[in-house]
Every structure is written in C-alpha cells, then in structure tokens.
Amino acid sequence: MSQKTPRNFFKPLAIGAPDPMRELPIRLERMIHFVPPHLDKVRAKVPQMADQADVVLANLEDAIPADAKDAARDGAIEMGKMIDWQAKGTGFWSRVNPLNSPWFQEDVSRLVLEAGEQLDVIMLPKVEGPWDIHFADQYVAQLEAKAGLKRPILFHAILETAQGMALVEEIALASPRMQGISLGPADLAADRKMKTTRVGGGHPYYRVVDDPNEDGSKRESAQQDPWHYTIARMVDACRLAGINAFYGPFGDIADSEACEQQFRNAFLLGCSGTWSLHPSQIEIAKRVFSPAPDEVKFARRILEAMPDGTGVAMLDGKMQDDATWKQAKVISDLADLVSEKDPELAKAYAAD
Ligand SMILES: CC(=O)SCCNC(=O)CCNC(=O)[C@H](O)C(C)(C)COP(=O)(O)OP(=O)(O)OC[C@H]1O[C@@H](n2cnc3c(N)ncnc32)[C@H](O)[C@@H]1OP(=O)(O)O
Ligand SMILES: O=CC(=O)O
Ligand SMILES: [Mg+2]
C-alpha cells in the first residue's frame, strides 16, 4: 500500500501537533506578494503591503543571495511579528529554500518555532514528488508540537521541475496540509530545456502562422501561450485534490499589459491568484482576480432564474441549466468574498 488509509490520513503526524484541517479556510488570495526580507527598506513597507495585498510572503529562496540567507530568515521572523496577521485578515506566508539545500532545515524550524502562530502557509519550491511533501509534513508536525501550535500550518508547492509536473496529481494529494500549487515558469523552463530567458509570459517566437495566401501576400501569425497546457494540467490536479491553483511570477515588471493578459488567462482557466513581485503587480492582480461587475450581475441573474439550481431557463438568448448555475455560483461566491475586503467592488457588484 503506497498511501495512508482514509482514517489515518487526517491524524496528526506527531504527538501534540494540531489536527490537520479537513476543509481549507475560505480566503481571498488574489495575489501572493513577494518581499525580500533581508532588505530593511523593503521590510519597513510590510505594514503598507499588508493593507494592499491579500497575502504577503517572506521569500527566503531564489532572488535572495547566498550570503543574505541568514538575514532573510531573521527578517522573515521579524515580519511575522510586525503585524497581527490573523486579526488583520492578510495571509502571512514564507517561501523556504528547497529540501536539497543547506538552508531548508533552519528556515522551517525557525519559522515554525518563532513565527508559527502567525504563519499561514509554507511555500515549498522545486517539489519533485509526494515524498518531498511527506518529509516536510512530518518535520513540520514535530515542530508544531514543540511550539505548542493549535492551528496547522499549510503547504503550497511550486511546480517547477519536469518530474514535479509528471507527478502533479500525487503532489496535490500528498497531505491534508496542501493548500495549493503555483506554476514556477522560470525554473520549469530551465528544467524542461525550453529555450527562453523569460520569467513567464509569451515568447515572440512561439506562434502559429496562417496558411499561405494565394496571392503570395504576407501571412499573418499570432503568438501562442507556451504555458497553457501546464496551467490547465495544474488546475485539474488542484481541483482533483480540492486545493487552489495559482499562476506564478511574471518577470517583465515594465510590461503591465502582457502581465495582465497572462494573469487573466490563468484566472479564466481556474486559478485563484498569482504572485506579485513588484507593488505595481498588486493592482493588476486585484483587477484580474476579482470578477468583473457585469459578469457578477449576469451570474446572479442565472442564480435568481433557477432558485433551486435545476431545470432550464433562457437569459438574453442563452440557455441556462444546472451546469451554468454551478458556473454562476463560482463567480457569485468569489464576488461575495471580494466584497468582504473591497467596499468599492462590493458597491459595483450591488449596483443595478
Ligand atoms: C523566478 C522567481 O522565483 S520570482 C520570485 C523571486 N523574486 C522576487 O521575489 C523579486 C521581488 N521583487 C524585487 O526584488 C524588486 O521588485 C525588483 C528587484 C524586481 C525590482 O526592484 P526595483 O528595481 O527596486 O523596483 P523599483 O525601483 O520600481 O521600486 C519602486 C519602489 O518599490 C519598492 N519595491 C520593489 N519591489 C518591492 C516588493 N516586492 N515589495 C515591496 N516594495 C517593493 C522599492 O523598494 C521602491 O521603493 P522606493 O520608491 O521607496 O525606493
Ligand atoms: O520560482 C518560480 C519560478 O518561476 O521558477
Ligand atoms: Mg523557481
């Protein structure tokens, strides 16, 4: 037997560790805002970031120089204590170094023992298979017990190796700690030997060309999305496991238009949120991952037209039935969640 029995799946992995969650907390997570915690100037902006972003993440992994790993870890713990994150309703996460690095053990032990009360989610990079989740799961349970935590810390895996991609369903199902998975397009591109130096987004050479024109005139062509398959597969794996899928980083900070389109494609395919690397990307993510008021109004008309969610109705010439009722429910529930946090959007969703 390679999996736990159903009864054992939800048992704590260490004596004294909190019970695993059976249902994920329902939270608005439109953007996970990355903060380099070793930089005093940026860390000082954390309270401001916590007002703006749904989730603030202390990044300890890539983008943090090797000689600043200790300072970043200290900074992450300080971030945990800067605000009462639970009371504020903003998520506090940290991306730790990978399991095969010399920093993982200290990252996780210090975070859980010194900031565990505030920490919602540990983001695990370069996850290769369920065994990585099992190892971290057992280790975090021991630390939770030692720290006397009452609330379990959740895990978020980054999909950024070909092997992780091949085992994405097993990773998603590996533990009740799993909260979600993000695409890691930069590392994944390298591991797959994709020929790009970009962090997410399209590529001018990845396109489809029209058939030849009879008059020999120039053929039109259009860029395609090299991430479509990966995002769709990740979304299916996450929904199979009842967890959330996220787009990851968009590295061309100056190209807000392409960033917005990449985020929107992910939103339409089922992702709950994305990463923001720069403050300017928080607003883009907020715009994209909150449903548009006209979509919300139409969704609510569907729900009203079919109060018990069954049967068939026509709205503006479009057939509605049990399936579109469920689609409408997804949009309407998200709008309710957004409304709790955003009074302006709440007003727009409520307007006639
Ligand atoms: C492939 C991956 O793993 S992606 C994840 C790893 N990468 C990261 O986490 C990168 C996080 N982001 C950053 O480090 C920075 O945004 C960079 C390096 C991309 C750009 O930084 P800069 O060149 O300083 O950007 P810019 O000059 O536009 O910054 C404007 C202001 O925003 C601040 N700022 C920039 N990024 C952030 C951030 N992530 N959070 C909070 N404040 C920020 C700057 O400190 C600056 O403040 P100031 O006006 O008081 O001086
Ligand atoms: O960690 C993110 C990535 O794209 O790599
Ligand atoms: Mg990466």
Residuewise pLDDT in 10s, the chain (352 residues)? 778 899 999 999 999 999 999 999 999 999 999 999 999 999 999 999 999 999 999 999 999 999 999 999 999 999 999 999 999 999 999 999 999 999 999 999 999 999 999 999 999 999 999 999 999 999 999 999 999 999 999 999 999 999 999 999 999 999 999 999 999 999 999 999 999 999 999 999 999 999 999 999 999 999 999 999 999 999 999 999 999 999 999 999 999 999 999 999 999 999 999 999 999 999 999 999 999 999 999 999 999 999 999 999 999 999 999 999 999 999 999 999 999 999 999 999 998 7
> Going by CA atoms, what residue is nearest to atom 45 of ligand 1?
42
> Going by CA atoms, what residue is nearest to atom 35 of ligand 1?
278
Distance of CA 87 from the midpoint of ligand 3 (Å): 31
Angle, CA 58 vertex, CA 52 and CA 178 arms, to 5°: 95
Distance of CA 242 from the midpoint of ligand 1 (Å): 33
pLDDT value, residue 3: 81
Say how far apart CA 73 and CA 280 lie, in whole Å. 25
Instruction: Give 169-193 as a DSSP string.
Output: HHHHTS-TTEEEEEE-HHHHHHHHT
Distance of CA 188 from the midpoint of ligand 1 (Å): 22
Distance of CA 347 from the midpoint of ligand 1 (Å): 32
Distance of CA 300 from the midpoint of ligand 3 (Å): 39
pTM for the full model? 0.97
- Specify whether the CB–CB gap between 164 and 200 falls below 8 A: no
pLDDT value, residue 1: 75
Here the ipTM equals 0.99
pLDDT value, residue 196: 97
pLDDT value, residue 352: 75
Instruction: Give 66-92 as a DSSP string.
Output: GGGHHHHHHHHHHHHHHS-HHHHT-EE
Index of the ligand 1 atom closest to the CA of residue 251: 4
For the chain, how many helices (H) and strands (E)?
Answer: 16, 12
> Going by CA atoms, what residue is nearest to atom 1 of ligand 2?
184
- Specify whether the CB–CB gap between 137 and 178 falls below 8 A: no
Say how far apart CA 217 and CA 35 lie, in whole Å. 50
Ligand 1 pocket member 281 (CB < 6 A): no
Index of the ligand 2 atom closest to the CA of residue 183: 4
- Specify whether the CB–CB gap between 153 and 140 falls below 8 A: yes
> Which ligand does the CA of 190 lie closest to?
2
Strand 221-223 and strand 274-276: the pairing is unpaired
Ligand 1 pocket member 233 (CB < 6 A): no
Ligand 1 pocket member 37 (CB < 6 A): no
> Going by CA atoms, what residue is nearest to atom 2 of ligand 2?
184
pLDDT value, residue 207: 97
pLDDT value, residue 71: 98
pLDDT value, residue 225: 96
Ligand 1 pocket member 63 (CB < 6 A): yes
Which residues does residue 245 pair with via DSSP β-bridges, in sequence order?
Answer: 181
Index of the ligand 1 atom closest to the CA of residue 276: 39
